[in-house]
Structure 1
Amino acid sequence: MAVREAKPNLSHAQVSELVRRLYCLTDSEIHPLPSYEDQNFFVSVSEGGEYVLKVMNSTDSQNPTLLELQTHAMNFLLQRGLPAQTAIPTKTGVLMSLEEIDCGFGPRKYLVRLLTYLPGTIIAKIPSSPAILYEVGKMAATMDNGFQEMEHPNLSVLQRDTFNGGLAQIPLLEKWLSAIDGDPMQQVVKEIIAQFKAEVVPKMANFRKCINHGDFNDQNILVMQDDQSQYKISGILDFGDMSSGYYIFELAITIMHMMIESTTPVDVGGHVLAGYESVFPLNEAERDCLFLLVLCRFSQLLVLARYAVLQQPENEEYLALWYSRPGIKYLSLLWELGKQEVERTWFECAKMYSDQH
């Protein structure tokens, strides 16, 4: 099936019908929300309440066990006091429903969930500051630590060995390097992949394992101002990239994404690292690989987003978030500065936090 046929394309009338039939609710407002592979809608209902209707793509809808586990993880975090969404049961009491819908290319089956709507602004839209970056790092580690306590009979489905978005799969990028033919960064990405094989793979035995959110990015973190006008995290979104991984993977992914919106990108890593280590201090092997893993995440998103645009040209505006000028510019900047210089900036900044405590 072509990628663009896997993504749902429901009309407002189809969304309204689903909400009424599955949840016995009457919509008063519907508008689309950004999404890459799935389709998300904000839904306000006349009975009172605001929700997100999430319609999974037809490919992922074939793996209900994984989606059920993601839903379980959201509820688990919420019960532990973290600001995650929770799924609303249908009128028959299930948390997701497999629906056959025709979006214009024949009937396909899509898993549908109605999630609570979390208030706030995505962190990409507020000025970056050391305080909020520290909070992001702290939240990432708190989430990873929380997942260590999560129980579920199907946790093994998170061993996603062929999942392209996982940092363990960096060598798979070689298959899609042609998507950046002609880009001067192609040679840099090749060298980063080679360094991953030579320097990260041998040390992975010393990385501490955990379940990763896997996409703790500037579009998936909501913030709100408190009474002192300080920004606090009010929502954690999109658990679609959850997988078994390592603490250091979560941290590297988080640092990379927080850099995208910053005017001082090199400084970002130190503040996020300090927040993360306030909950979960890194060991020597993890610290030694952090810089390269951040480069790997930049490379991964550059290659996969460019490849996806070739498959889904209609999604270019959304995908451009991941291969836009800042992303390429910051990857190039880190590469030119080098491991020693960037690590010095990050580790000295993080040490300042620990010295204050």
Structure 2
Amino acid sequence: MNSNCKRPEVTIEMASSLVEKYFNVKVTKVTEANGYDDRNFIITIEKELVNHGNQFVLKVTNPIDSADQGLIEAVTDVSLYVNHKEGIESPVPMINVNGNYVERIELESKQICAVRLMKYIDGIVLEKIDYDADILYEIGSVVGRLSLIMKNYTNPILDKREMLWSLLSVDKLDEYLFAIENDGHRLLVHNIIEKFKEIVINKVSTLRKSIIHGDVNEQNVLVKKEDGKWTFSGLLDFGDSHSDPTIFDLAIACCYMTLDSRVIDPIMVPKYVIYGYLSVEKITQQEWDILPICVMARLSQSLTLGAYNHLKDPNNEYLLKTGKRGWTILEQLNSVGVDQLKILWQI
């Protein structure tokens, strides 16, 4: 996600034309899906492609990330790498008529954007179900498997990538607090920023690092029902992949899983995600010590940057999704406190 750009100006008609031109297929249906700073379209084609079916996702990346030399190719490589590993299905890009996974094109708006067509993964986004302890445990185990998989993966572009959505950029949030209308909310975020700097920043050198997904949220996790039970089916959008402390992926997942929990108390949701993570990967004492404040910091980050980006793009209501329950949950987490959260989430 990028907080300083305008989304690609792409209509449904343009999306259809792009797919037909660059992938030599006949499009029969196009539906726009949610997107933070990119444009995403669900594409249905006339004839099934061998081993790929007839549904795909067209992703048109924002101009700033598209202009970052090699970045889109790097995040595409991560997706391919993860998809080849057992247990985590992720979107596979299709090769276009020019023999590339990624094509940069100039839109009618004069924006130059990277275009990819990804294989559609069957399932629905997690936010649409009433999830229970079992699915939260499974999501935690997926994040744990991802941490294991990425231990041996390196990418020179992602290793040096710096981005505002990295948790290590939380100390930059003060510059965006003006976008938060409520004085109490502004003060809450400021205090969490200060606590994050106090607890986390000085310990970064002691933490394990790897390339992380960076945005395991309730709209990037797909689930499907098997034998009457919801189960994980896919992990979407590696567009925020970068090098950071490995534990940040777990913290990010814990943060977003709280937002749409309608059955389990949101404050207790991370316990089940952590339990699943620990079934496949360890958490060091240093990582455990910083986990609660990292969860709170990510929620602060999402709420603040969501408000800021909505000021620039008021028609994109998706930007305010976190705020619908996020402020209440952040206040509750802060009220419980870091030390007590560690006790509540202890396995």
State the distance in 1 between where 2:253 and 2:219 align: 11
State the distance in 2 between where 1:64 and 1:145 align: 28
Does the aligned pair in 1 maintain the 2:5–2:37 contact within 8 Å?
Answer: no
Query: Are residue 91 (structure 1) and residue 97 (structure 2) matched?
Result: yes
Does the aligned pair in 2 maintain the 1:173–1:303 contact within 8 Å?
Answer: yes
State the distance in 2 between where 1:70 and 1:84 align: 12
Superposed, 1:184-333 pairs within 5 Å as: 184-226=184-226, 228-263=227-262, 264-315=265-316, 317-324=317-324, 326-333=325-332
Name the SS of the counterpart of 1:313 in structure 2.
coil
Other-structure match for 1:53: 58
Aligned length: 338
State the distance in 2 between where 1:182 and 1:47 align: 52
Name the SS of the counterpart of 2:71 in structure 1.
helix
Unaligned runs of 5+ residues in structure 2 are 49-53
Q: CA deviation at 1:280?
A: 1.6
As a proportion of its length, which structure holds more helix?
A: 1
Does the aligned pair in 2 maintain the 1:256–1:297 contact within 8 Å?
Answer: yes
Name the SS of the counterpart of 1:211 in structure 2.
strand
Q: CA deviation at 1:203?
A: 1.6
Other-structure match for 1:336: 335
Name the SS of the counterpart of 2:321 in structure 1.
helix
Residue type at the aligned position of 1:133: L
State the distance in 2 between where 1:5 and 1:270 align: 36
Residue type at the aligned position of 1:102: E
Does the aligned pair in 2 maintain the 1:144–1:213 contact within 8 Å?
Answer: no
Name the SS of the counterpart of 1:314 in structure 2.
coil
Residue type at the aligned position of 1:23: F
State the distance in 2 between where 1:241 and 1:170 align: 15
Does the aligned pair in 2 maintain the 1:4–1:312 contact within 8 Å?
Answer: no
Other-structure match for 1:353: none
Q: CA deviation at 1:235?
A: 1.1
Residue type at the aligned position of 2:93: A
Residue type at the aligned position of 1:245: D
Give the aligned CA root-mean-square deviation in angstroms.
1.6
State the distance in 1 between where 2:168 and 2:278 align: 22
Q: CA deviation at 1:309?
A: 1.0
State the distance in 1 between where 2:146 and 2:261 align: 23
Query: Are residue 140 (structure 1) and residue 143 (structure 2) matched?
Result: yes
1:344–1:238: structure 2 CA closer, same or farther, 3 Å change rule?
Answer: same
1:202–1:5: structure 2 CA closer, same or farther, 3 Å change rule?
Answer: closer
Q: CA deviation at 1:212?
A: 0.9
After superposition, what is the alpha-carbon deviation per residue over 1:277-299, rounded to whole angstroms, capped at 9, x for unaligned? 11221111111111111110111
Superposed, 1:121-136 pairs within 5 Å as: 121-136=124-139
Other-structure match for 1:160: 161
After superposition, what is the alpha-carbon deviation per residue over 1:33-61, rounded to whole angstroms, capped at 9, x for unaligned? 11011111111111221111111111111
1:4–1:297: structure 2 CA closer, same or farther, 3 Å change rule?
Answer: closer
Does the aligned pair in 2 maintain the 1:291–1:343 contact within 8 Å?
Answer: yes
Residue type at the aligned position of 1:74: S
TM-score by length of 1: 0.91
State the distance in 2 between where 1:214 and 1:5 align: 19
State the distance in 1 between where 2:83 and 2:98 align: 23
State the distance in 1 between where 2:184 and 2:138 align: 35
After superposition, what is the alpha-carbon deviation per residue over 1:80-102, rounded to whole angstroms, capped at 9, x for unaligned? 12210100001121101111111
Name the SS of the counterpart of 1:233 in structure 2.
strand
Other-structure match for 2:117: 114
Unaligned runs of 5+ residues in structure 1 are 351-357
Does the aligned pair in 2 maintain the 1:215–1:253 contact within 8 Å?
Answer: yes
After superposition, what is the alpha-carbon deviation per residue over 1:207-252, rounded to whole angstroms, capped at 9, x for unaligned? 11111100000000000111x2221111111111111011211111
Q: CA deviation at 1:192?
A: 1.0
Q: CA deviation at 1:149?
A: 2.2
Does the aligned pair in 1 maintain the 2:179–2:304 contact within 8 Å?
Answer: yes
1:182–1:259: structure 2 CA closer, same or farther, 3 Å change rule?
Answer: closer
State the distance in 1 between where 2:89 and 2:246 align: 20
